[in-house]
Every structure is written in structure tokens, then in C-alpha cells.
Amino acid sequence: MKLTGAEILIHCLKEQGADTVFGYPGGCVLDIYDALYRDGSIRHILTAHEQGAAHAADGYARATGRTGVCLATSGPGATNLVTGIATAYMDSVPLVAITGNVNVAGLGRDSFQEVDIAGITMPVTKHNYIVKDVNKLAETVREAFYIANAGRKGPVLVDIPKNIQTETAEYEPVPAHGYTPKPVAKEALAEAAKAIRTSKRPLIIVGGGAVSSGAADKVRALAERIQAPVSSTLMGLGVYPSSDERFLGLVGMHGTDASAKAFLRADTVIVCGMRFSDRVAGDRSKFRDRKTIIQFDIDAAEIDKNVKTDISVMADLGEILKTLLPLLEQADHADWLKEVNAYKEYEKNTAPAPATKAILAAAKAHTDGDTPVATDVGQHQMWTAQYYPFEKPRTFISSGGLGTMGYGMGAAIGACIGTGKQTLLVTGDGSFHMNLNELCTAVTYKLPLVILLANNNTLGMVRQWQTLFYGGRYSQTTLGRKTDYVRLAEAFGAKGLLLDRPENAETVLEKAFSEEGPVLVDCKIDIDEKVLPMIAPGKSFDSIITKI
């Protein structure tokens, strides 16, 4: 059948299973919006800003495992997507960003609201396209969804000039083509199995790749088979249940003391879908001292990039573990587990207890293991990672690699819409000021969203660094904002509550979680509350700071 380019796009989105698009209309996407209106079967979420749309598509993808889709017009509409696209790229989130542009004949002529969005996004996408022939539009959209989900997942951009949206071409429906994982190299896997069998003190570290591959059950089976403790990167939280006795918590700069000590003592470290970022590996030159490093990763570019490994296997993590498990016998490392549990007990009795720990505990009482929990970036993000007990994958929604302040509100909206579940957003006053406009989106769609705003009137994590490494010179980190968040929430049409003392957390949060629509809780915390422990930048795991 013959359709316009805009109609072909809508049909292809439905082919690929896209049921929701987050976006903001404009002149160069009017034909796409008209086709959306006439079709009526795809839900469109109108955000307050294109960046919010990109973050919402990202949160939707992380929470559901499906591909997020965002839509923006040309020029500033397209450039407003860039931070969200880069955020998804750094954390390997499958996302398809669709932009309009001026007519093909007007490209390169400085036309109104023209920008080379393909050139701009080239470093932060897996691939991008400018569609200059309507006959290639369907094929391009299908490729975009395939690439976004093939191998290491990530964002793809499709730029569609205005005339391509109105020109016609033949369209024939084609079923979505799924990604087939590559086979696992048996020799490397046999070498890894031998090293694991001979290990006396194995440690498993899970990263975001374990979430992407859907390998949580297999990671748990591996830990049980080899009787190994498990640590997690920020992006790996939820892969291994925090309630399990083997779980040691977060690893890296703000990881637990137990994870740091277990890493130093381990003789074999099995890295599952983790890229050895600087915030995890610290001083990379010392990361592999006196231990065997085994890396399982789907991306060849990550093998030996940051840390030289002893054994590496490149394939989908789920496929690796499925093939590895039959090669391993049931191990008995009772003494090793007893040792690491002693680390946990010591830390439990000596670790500082910030006010947000009590607030998060009160919030947990009103959520379950399936509740999506989104964060912005900063101290509140680390407190959530440290103290909120994540039990399942895809429940922790946060910007890891890019560390995007302003991410949380859009991501929480996307996670809430994608799952249909009441969603918790933990944010800080610095981050919230960057994205508070999206509160109107949550109100418009009557989303069951509870926002815990850690209000210390400072850029807390930066202030913490200034305390530790800059002699207490607090240059431009004390915000001095006069914002009344309770009244602000009410102005947007949301419910606003004040939590001025942590001991009132249970009472206030019981009220917050009983509301049907968006609720913002202004949580007052001390300006000098710290995230501890902390490993000094560029230092190794044995340089942990536990007190200030």
C-alpha cells in the first residue's frame, strides 16, 4: 500500500512494538504528529521540554527492557535531546530518537531551525541516519531499532526531513527482527571455568551489562554454585538481591567497606558486564594486584580497555553464564563467606547513619521489590544506592556514566508510564531545579509519583569534595535558593509535604504514598551530611575514607 513517509514511520513504530512516544511538537514534525493523531494507537506523552522527553524514553527503556522512543522537531528541539541521548549512550540504554528537519533541498543552507543533528550526535549514538529517500524510510527505522538492541545496547537517531514525511512510497509490513546472540568461545570459557574451580576466595562483581542481558537468575545461580560473595556497580544494582547474605553492596568510590575489603582479599574476581570505570576501579594500575581477573562482556571494545584481564570472554552475559554453569561443580567456600560476613557485620555496627538513611527506610516500608526507584545525580543518588534495598533488576533508574543532573524527573515519568506502577524519585535540590518543569507532566497525566527531595541548599557532592580536597573553600556550591518546594508543588497542581525532621519520616511518607497523584516531599537535611565511605579519586581500594 502507498503511504506518506509520516504514515510509514507510525506503521514501523508499531511493527517494532513501540506503544509510547515521548515528545514535543514543532514545525518540522507536524506531519508526523498529524499521522500520530490520525492513527491513534500509539500513546504520546507531551513533556515540558525535549530533554525531559529523552530522559523519559530512557527511564521507560530501563524500567521495561523495551526500546524507548522520543520525538522532537528540528534545530533547538533536536539539540535539546542531546544530553538525554548521551546519557543513554553512556549507560547502554536502547533508545530511538526521531527528529524532523528542513526539506532535503534546504539542508546546508542555514534554513530556519536547521541543524546538523546527525553530526552533533555522532559521538553519542551507536549509529544515526539522515533519511533522504522516502523509499528507504521503513528500512531505516527497522535498522534503527535493531541496532539499538543488537550487542551492547544504545541510542540511535533517525533524522527525517520534512519533505520525506509528505512524499509517498510503497509500504509492506515486516515482522520485527530480533537480535540473536553470538556463540560463546569455548576455549576461553574452559579457561575461565578452570580458574574459578581452583579459586579459594572468588568474588563476583555485577555491572549494568547483567541488567541489559537479563542475566540476573544466572548470576545468582553462579554465586550459589561457587559460593562467592557478590558486589555491584551502580548500574548493576538489583541484579543480585540485597537481602541475600552473599551480597556485599556497592563497589567503588562510594562502595561499602565490605566490598572494598573483599576485593582486596579475593584471589579471583569475576566481572560480569562491567567496564572498570574510574569510579569503580579507582587506581587501575593496582586493580589486579595479586589476583586473577576474569571479564565477561559483550563489547570487544571494553575487553582490556581500562584494566588488563587474565581471562576474558566476549559474548552476551546470559549466554556466557548458561554455558559456564555446567562446567562448574558445587564449591564449598564457607570460611571465605564467613570472613566477608564479618566485614559486613563490622560495617553495620560502625558505619555512619545519615538522615536520609531513615527517610529511605521509611519509604521502603511503602514500596515493594517491583517499585521503580529513580534518582538524579549527587549525594542523594549514592545514599539511595547504599541504603535502599534493591531486590530485582530494572528497579534502579539512574544516570551512571554521564552523571546527568536533571535526569531524574523525566526518567521517573518514563519508568512510571512504562510499568504502570507507583514510582519513587529521590532527588536533590540542585538536580531538581534543573528539571522541575517536568512536574507539570506528572500532574497532567496524574502519575502516581512520590518525590523525595533531599534539601540541604547546596550542591552536596561537590561541597563534600571541597571539604576533603579544597580546604573547605565552598566556591559557588552553597545555593542560597529561597524556593518553597511545598508551595511550588501545589502551584503545579501536585501535593506538597514538608519533612523537617527525620524522626517524622514514617508519618509524612505514609501520607505521601497514600496520595493518588504526584507528591513532593521537601526533606530537610544538614548541609554537611556526607556520603561515606569514600575512596579518594585515583586511589586504590585500600585508601578508603570512613570518617570526616
Catalytic center residues: 50, 112-113, 162, 461
Burial class from Cβ neighbours inside 10 Å (0-12, 13-18, 19+) for residue 134 reads buried
Q: Which letter, b or e, does each residue of 25-34 get, where b requires 16 or more Cβ atoms within 10 Å of its Cβ?
A: bbebbbbbbe
Question: Does residue 155 contact residue 69 with C-beta atoms inside 8 Å?
Answer: no
List, in sequence order, every beta strand (DSSP E) within 54-164.
68-72, 95-101, 127-130, 155-161
| CA distance between the termini of the chain | 69
Residue 7: CA count within 13 A, CB half-sphere:
14
Classified as helix, coil or strand, 14 is helix
**DSSP character at residue 106:** G
Residues in a beta bridge with 247: 230
Distance CA 141, CA 259 (A): 44
Please confirm whether the linkage preceding 533 is cis (ω < 30° from 0): yes
* Cβ-contact 282, 259 below 8 angstroms: no
Beta bridge partner(s), residue 205: 231, 271
Question: Under DSSP, is residue 485 helix (H, G, I), strand (E, B) or coil?
Answer: helix
Residue 184 grid coordinates: 560463546
Strand 2-4 vs strand 168-170: parallel, antiparallel, or unpaired?
antiparallel
Task: List the strands of the sheet with 292-297, edge to edge.
Answer: 247-250, 230-232, 202-206, 268-272, 292-297, 311-314
The set of cell numbers assigned to 58 is 530512557
> Which residue type is seen at 388?
Y
Please state, in angstroms and rounded to a whole number, the distance separating the CA atoms of residues 435 and 481. 15
Dist. CA 321–CA 147, nearest whole Å: 24
**Rounded CA gap, 142 and 482, in Å?**
49
